[in-house]
Every structure is written in structure tokens, then in C-alpha cells.
Amino acid sequence: MSADDDKKAAARRALEWVKPGMRLGLGTGSTAEKFVAALGDKVAQGLDVVCVPTSERTAAQAAALSIPLTTLEDTPQLDLTVDGADEVDGALRLIKGGGGALLREKIVAAASTSMLVIADGSKLVDRLGKFPLPVEVVPFGLGATRILVGRALSDCGIDGAPVILRTDTEGAPFVTDGGHYILDCACEAIPDAEALADALVAIPGVVEHGLFLGLCDTVVIGAGGETRVLTA
Ligand code: 5RP
């Protein structure tokens, strides 16, 4: 079984949490994409749901599958968001943003009663931080913000971590759906995720960071052809 099969198994299992009439948040990334595909099949069979996508990419996929879409302006409260993650620890704390959609993902997750994460087994970690932590920043003042992000990391016991501006395939800064840049922080390990989250949001140029703390209540892991469920 490949990681792709495991992602697909987790995505299919997540359909068990979807009930008729639900207002759903749709995540972003290769795992979320598999959930959207599976949801599209159910919608084609008559399932009645309405969804808020977390990226332009997911919006395009869902629209192509004729999944009914709405916005948080028209539907400000959602029942369930299904999304992937880059890391999940034992307390269901997450690192997200590898796909660059962390800001909309966090807004949509926060608007949802429940957040269900789907992932292959490689995403489960003992301690957060091996995956570089994405921090979304405004382009203005980038140089200064980058120094302040490095200082926040040091203040939280993460010394000398490279803070790298994410670039696209042409070497230009990667631009998020919100028009921002991303700094990837190679922490290796995050000793106190809550303290780091607080320190990052206090920096004026930081729009959002990829630590999702206290948002996810259920995780479905696909591994070796099976799925297992972790709950908070
Ligand atoms: C996008 C994300 C993704 O959910 C995360 O990067 C996981 O992606 P994948 O399912 O492709 O491994 O946070 O911003």
C-alpha cells in the first residue's frame, strides 16, 4: 500500500462523518483532494451538502464536480471541515500550510463545529516541528518581519532555525490566495507550540501561522490498507 492509497482510504472513511444537509469546509492538498473527489461521487448520487473551499484550487475541483459551494459571508457557521495536515501529534495539534492555504484553512476550521483531519501514517509525530512551520506574512516589511520571526523562535527555545522565504518553480516568492508570502521555519522540534503560536501572532507583519492548536477533534489515519480514528 502506498501513501497515496492510505490517503485515499482515510478520505473515503471520512465520508462516514458527512450527513445530509451539512455545511462543510473543504481542505486543500493531495489528501483533501481525494476527499473532495469522493464527496463529488456522493453529491452526484444525490447527497445534499453545501461547502466552503479553503483555496482557489479546491474551489476549482469542487466546482468541476458540481459540488454546491457557498462562502462564509452567506454561511458563516459550518458543521464539519475535512482537511489534511503536514503533522499531527498525540494531542491532535497540527502543523498545516505545506500547500500554502493555511490562512483560509484556519478561518474555515475555526468557523466549523468540528474539524476532521485525514492523513497517511507518516503525518503522525511524537513532537511537532520536523516539518518546516509555515508562517504567512504580508510582503511589506518582509526583511524586518523575517528577523522578528527568527527572534520569536529563539525566544521559544528554537535557536538558529533557518527562516526561508517560500518560492515558486520560477524562483519568485510563492504568493498565497490572500496575496501574502510564506516563511518556512525549519524548527526541527517545537518545545512549546502554544508559546510559539502566541509569539508569532504578536508580530505585526505575521498574518497567520501553521500551528493549529485546539481546532482538530478527530483524525482518520490511513495506514497499510486500514484506517484508524483518533479523537481528542
Ligand atoms: C495545505 C495543507 C495541507 O493540508 C497539508 O500540506 C497536507 O497536504 P497533503 O495532503 O498533500 O499531504 O495544510 O495548506
- For 65-111, the pLDDT digits (tens) are 999 999 999 999 999 999 999 999 999 999 999 999 999 999 999 99
Residue 207 CA, ligand 1 centroid: distance in Å: 19
- pLDDT tens digits for range 38-74: 999 999 999 999 999 999 999 999 999 999 999 999 9
- CA separation (Å) from 55 to 19, 27, 134? 23, 8, 16
The whole-number average pLDDT for the span 207-211 is 98
CA 27 – ligand 1 centroid, Å: 8
Domain 133-207 has CATH 1.10.10.10: no
Domain boundaries, the chain: 3-125+213-226, 133-207
C-alpha dihedral, 31 to 171 to 163 to 147, nearest 10°: -130
| pTM, full prediction | 0.97
Pocket-testing residue among 7, 30, 35, 166, ligand 1, by greatest number of atoms within 8 A of Cβ: 30
| Closest C-alpha residue for ligand 1 atom 6 | 98
Output the average pLDDT for the chain.
Answer: 97
Q: Which of 33, 56, 73, 105 is catalytic?
A: 105
CATH 3.40.50.1360 at 3-125+213-226, yes or no: yes
User: Which among 152, 214, 138, 142 is positioned nearest to 187, based on CA atoms?
Assistant: 152
Ligand 1 lined by 227 (C-beta under 6 Å): no
pLDDT at 1 exceeding the cut of 80:
no
Give 208's DSSP letter: E
Q: Mutation test of ligand 1: which of 6, 7, 28 has the most ligand atoms closer than 8 Å to its C-beta?
A: 28
The answer, yes or no, to whether ipTM is higher than 0.90 is yes
Q: Return the pLDDT at 177.
A: 98
- Residue 190 pLDDT > 80: yes
- The pLDDT value recorded for residue 181 is 98
105 is a catalytic site residue: yes
In terms of DSSP H, where are the helices of the chain? 3-14, 30-44, 56-64, 102-110, 142-155, 193-201
Query: Which tens digit of pLDDT belongs to each residue from 123-182?
Result: 999 999 999 999 999 999 999 999 999 999 999 999 999 999 999 999 999 999 999 999
pLDDT higher than 80, residue 216: yes
Place of cell 444537509: 21
Residue 232: its pLDDT value, please? 87
Is any ligand 1 atom within 6 A of the Cβ of residue 105?
yes
